[in-house]
Structures are given as structure tokens and as C-alpha cells.
């Protein structure tokens, strides 16, 4: 009998277990490189209230029954969403999961009528920044950058969808 290769599937956040995985995956990478900040705690503690209820979405990447990645899009302005809280388990990085998550987030942003997607990151996360660039995100000029709730945010990017 031939072996089947497990397939990563992308689905919307649908359970308390998904919300717990969203929190755990994000806390792990943030604490690995930085320090959890108040805005992290607020969003990770209530992804439904902070991201989904205002009109955004949270997606999880599953391999069999395990959540191995996640991403959110959060409304931040008129027809503008922010890509937030992307995380992929270290054991599953480099296999296209981040690309699938971003693709799902961009598809949903378009379906919601967003004209722009913003994101904040950190220059030490070079592989993530390169992935965003591969999707067409551009770095903002200094005079385009709005104040951030994150001390660690030194990369500010946008993707115009129109």
C-alpha cells in the first residue's frame, strides 16, 4: 500500500482548541526572539473579540489533527486590514505553510473588500520579511509609518490590492 503524504489544510479558527493553539504558537516565537507586549496579550487572549468580531479572520494550518501554523487579518481602517500573528511551528517551517497561510489571508482580505493590507515585523525575522516581499508587500517610507503598539516593530510594509 503506498504511503500518503500528509497534507496541510487551512481552515478558519473554529474551536477553543484552535484559539489555544493560536496563542501557544505565537507566544512561543515572540518569547523566543522578543518579549510579549500588552498588545500581544490582548490579541492572543481574545482572537475572536479582537480580530474576528470586528470583521477580520483567523486561519489555522492543520497537519492531520495538529495545528502547526496560524495567521490573522484584523480591520484597522477604512478598507484596510492588518496581517497579524503569523506563526508556524519550528518543526514545520520551510515547507510552504507560511505561504499557504498568507495566501488564505490575502484571499479573505480581497473578499472583504480590503484595498490595502498592512503588517509590522522585525528585521531580525529575515525569512518572514522575504516571504512578505515575495507576495508583493513593499516597505513603507519613514513618513508613511504610523505609530505602533509594538516596541519590536522595525519593519512596516503594505500591499495594495487595487
Q: Is residue 65 part of a domain?
A: yes
pTM of the model: 0.94
Q: Is residue 3 part of a domain?
A: no
Is a pLDDT exceeding 90 seen at residue 100? yes
Q: Is residue 1 part of a domain?
A: no
The domain tally of the chain equals 1
Q: Is residue 2 part of a domain?
A: no
Tell me: the pLDDT tens digits for 5-52?
Answer: 779 999 999 999 999 999 999 999 999 999 999 999 999 999 999 999
Mean pLDDT taken over the chain: 95
- CATH number at 19 reads 3.40.630.30
Could you tell me where the DSSP H helices lie in 34-74?
A: 38-45, 47
In this prediction, residue 2 carries a pLDDT of 64
Q: Is residue 85 part of a domain?
A: yes
Of the candidates 70, 60, 61, the residue with the CA atom closest to the CA atom of residue 6? 61
- Residue 140 structural domain: 8-160
Distance CA 103, CA 107 (A): 6
Amino acid at each position: 500500500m503506498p504511503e500518503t503524504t500528509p497534507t496541510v489544510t487551512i481552515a478558519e479558527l473554529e474551536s477553543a482548541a484552535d484559539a489555544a493553539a493560536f496563542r501557544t504558537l505565537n507566544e512561543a516565537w515572540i518569547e523566543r526572539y522578543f518579549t510579549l507586549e500588552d498588545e500581544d496579550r490582548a490579541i492572543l487572549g481574545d482572537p475572536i473579540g479582537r480580530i474576528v468580531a470586528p470583521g477580520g479572520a483567523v486561519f489555522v494550518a492543520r497537519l492531520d489533527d495538529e495545528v502547526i501554523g496560524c495567521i490573522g487579518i484584523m480591520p484597522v481602517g477604512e478598507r484596510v486590514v492588518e496581517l497579524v500573528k503569523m506563526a508556524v511551528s519550528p518543526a514545520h517551517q520551510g515547507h510552504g505553510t507560511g505561504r499557504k497561510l498568507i495566501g488564505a489571508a490575502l484571499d479573505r482580505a480581497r473578499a472583504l473588500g480590503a484595498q490595502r493590507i498592512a503588517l509590522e515585523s522585525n528585521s531580525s525575522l529575515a525569512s518572514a520579511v522575504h516571504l512578505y516581499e515575495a507576495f508583493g508587500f513593499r516597505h513603507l517610507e519613514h513618513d508613511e509609518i504610523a505609530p505602533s503598539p509594538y516596541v519590536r516593530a522595525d519593519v512596516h510594509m503594505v500591499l495594495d490590492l487595487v
